[in-house]
Structure 1
Amino acid sequence: MSLQNQTILITGASRGIGKALAITLAKDGANLSLVARNQQELLAVKQEAEALGAQVAIFAGSVADESFVKSVVAETAQKFGKIDALVNNAGFGVFKQATEISTSEWDSIFETNVKGTFLFCREAVPLMKNAGKGHIINIASDVAKRVFDGGSLYCASKYAQDAFSMALRKEVRKDKIKVSVVYSGVVDTHFHKREEGNPYQAKYLSSKDMANTIYFILSAPEHVVIDELMIHPISQEY
């Protein structure tokens, strides 16, 4: 199914997976609402997407800021008349032994990875209900299904994001709103200590791999929902 003229809101859209997805969708004629903290990086993505013919709105701010999230959703709906899909992609990690994690680190991770997902879903769902359809894709991680030494904080946030997504799916399915969760393995992005493109990460998934996967989920026929999708590079054990 073509996504031409579909309005898709993406968080964490200034680089990595979010940027790759924005460009992929722009090539298919989607309208884009892009959210991230860095205004300059967002402007660069906007210019690239507009050069491909897309209509683009950008919003710089924190996904954990309730008033910001409300304004983003309201202004997106006003500009494009609708929100067909929401992709909650913003997130980051802190990896330490549990006894070394500070309260501020705990709060920061949960505010972005969990609260941000909740806030955007809460504001977008009523619009989708009124439209009689919609699609929410939450970008989680394979650590929403497993844990590892040094990952207590990040794993906990992704388990929480996943649990929220599963419950939301049951709430809104009757309203013809799809809720999909993508569980990815390692991806060659700025998320890691090494910069994107570092030879060490050559066998990781690329941002383009992830963008193509999310596009596949978004472009499924209206009667089809991919509830969950686990994706890894062949080099990574699970």
Structure 2
Amino acid sequence: MTDLTDQVAIVSGASRGIGKAIALLLAMQGAKVVCVARSAEELEEVAHKTQGLAVPADVSDADDAQHVVDQALRHFGRLDILVCNAGVGSFGLLEHFDAAEWDRIFDVNVKGTFLLCKAAVPHFKSRHRGHIVGITSDVARRTFENGTAYGASKFAQDAVLASLRKEVRSHGIKVSTIFPGLVDTYFNDSVPGGPDAEKTHLKPSDVAQAVRYVLEAPAHVVIDELMIHPLTQEW
């Protein structure tokens, strides 16, 4: 298994929920974590717990995304892991859905992944190594009513990562995609800890363990896609 000790990892959306769980677990495994999110106050708290670096940023902004990677390189001297986790979503009938909200969802979920990868890949190529992990959703594999914007963004995010995987494999760079089902987080203004959450939802720590699983796979093992089902909590 690959040792994560002293590996430098960027985690976007790290201020709460899945991203926070990923950042904390990677730090527990010895990684040096660059925590990224728009909420500076919550981010500082997570960075303090991970003894890592907090970089407040909007990943849908090209300058901010480049700044994140530049700060990681300036502070730690290299980058080994990029976890594209930042995501937003809202739901409703297509005919009533606000166009500006559609753009916001695509900006964070798709453009944010694209921009962070665009900023990180040149460094990974220069070292002939690196691992990108994208957190998408099981809705990148299915459709549902009222989910046109969110579902389309997750299909698109998956396509970005799948195409990138083919572009960079010959450079020694891995790209893995994780497709969680329902997760008990603050997503879409939900409040974690609902009465049925343990029966119907994954925990953020389940997704974090899936990330750890793909990152710790031996170098010769390629795990392109990993689906996590909320009822069995298996992958």
Q: What TM-score, normalized by structure 2, do the two folds share?
A: 0.95
1:94-144 Cα deviation digits (max 9, x unpaired) = 100001111110110000000000000001000000011110001000110
Paired with 1:109 and 1:21, the residues of 2 have a C-alpha distance of 22
Q: Which residue matches 1:53?
A: none
Q: What is the number of equivalent residue pairs in this alignment? A: 231
Q: Which residue matches 1:35?
A: 36
Instruction: Write the mapping of 1:39-118 to structure 2, written as runs, cut at 5 A.
Output: 39-50=40-51, 56-118=52-114
1:131-181 Cα deviation digits (max 9, x unpaired) = 111100010001101100000000100010011111111100000100111
Give yes or no for the alignment of 1:209 onto 2:210: no
Give yes or no for the alignment of 1:23 onto 2:24: yes
Give every structure 1 segment of 4 or more consecutive aligned residues whose post-TM-superposition deviation is greater than 3 Å: none
Q: Which residue matches 1:3?
A: 4
Q: Which residue matches 1:136?
A: 132
Paired with 2:48 and 2:165, the residues of 1 have a C-alpha distance of 34
**Which amino acid in structure 2 is aligned with residue 228 of structure 1?**
E
Match of residue 185, structure 2, among 163, 185, 189: 189
Unaligned runs of at least 5 residues, structure 1: 51-55
Unaligned runs of at least 5 residues, structure 2: none
Match of residue 230, structure 2, among 204, 212, 233: 233
**Which amino acid in structure 1 is aligned with residue 40 of structure 2?**
Q
**Which amino acid in structure 1 is aligned with residue 187 of structure 2?**
F
Give yes or no for the alignment of 1:147 onto 2:148: no
TM superposition shift of 1:196: 1.0
Q: Contact (CA 8 Å) 2:65, 2:115: kept in 1 or not? A: yes
Paired with 1:104 and 1:127, the residues of 2 have a C-alpha distance of 34
1:187-210 Cα deviation digits (max 9, x unpaired) = 001114431112231221101111
TM superposition shift of 1:234: 2.0
**Which amino acid in structure 2 is aligned with residue 234 of structure 1?**
L
Paired with 1:6 and 1:198, the residues of 2 have a C-alpha distance of 35
**Which amino acid in structure 2 is aligned with residue 138 of structure 1?**
G
Identity, % of aligned positions: 47
**Which amino acid in structure 1 is aligned with residue 114 of structure 2?**
F
Secondary structure (helix, strand or coil) at the match of 1:58 reads: strand
Instruction: Write the mapping of 1:117-132 to structure 2, written as runs, cut at 5 A.
Output: 117-132=113-128
Secondary structure (helix, strand or coil) at the match of 1:202 reads: helix
Secondary structure (helix, strand or coil) at the match of 1:143 reads: helix
Q: Contact (CA 8 Å) 2:8, 2:81: kept in 1 or not? A: yes
Paired with 2:15 and 2:37, the residues of 1 have a C-alpha distance of 6
TM superposition shift of 1:184: 0.8
Q: What TM-score, normalized by structure 1, do the two folds share?
A: 0.94
Paired with 2:222 and 2:148, the residues of 1 have a C-alpha distance of 31
RMSD: 1.2
Q: Which residue matches 2:173?
A: 177
Secondary structure (helix, strand or coil) at the match of 2:196 reads: helix
Tell me which moved more, 190-199 or 173-182.
Answer: 190-199
